[in-house]
Amino acid sequence: MASNKLTVIQAAIQAMLEIGRPASSVEILEYIVRENLYVFKAKDPHSILKSALRRHRPTLKGKTTVLVKQVENNKYQIL
């Protein structure tokens, strides 16, 4: 059973590292669930993941915790 030692974004980054290429949020979510990296307690885990990915993208306002970049076809990669 997975523990919530990782945050959603940490689990997503680990998933992207393991996937090894730009991945869609659906692919990232499937990997997180399959590998028990994070236990989502929400009814819509996909929207939770997408929100976390959006919060950690570069913006015009200059975020300090930029971790991922959105690339072609709504796929994400680690910066």
Walking along the chain (79 residues) 10 residues at a time, the average pLDDT comes out as 76 96 96 96 95 81 74 87
Instruction: Report the candidate in 55, 75, 43 with the shortest Cα–Cα distance to residue 7.
Output: 55
1 located within any domain: no
Q: What is the pLDDT of residue 73?
A: 77
Q: What is the pLDDT of residue 35?
A: 96
Q: What is the pLDDT of residue 1?
A: 46
Residue 16 sits in which domain range?
8-78
pTM for the whole structure: 0.84
CA–CA distance, 59 with 42 (Å, rounded to integer)? 27
3 located within any domain: no
53 located within any domain: yes
22 located within any domain: yes
- Cβ neighbours, 10 Å, residue 56: 21
52 located within any domain: yes
Contact 79/67 with Cβ under 8 angstroms? Answer: yes
32 located within any domain: yes
2 located within any domain: no
Give the total number of structural domains in the chain.
Answer: 1
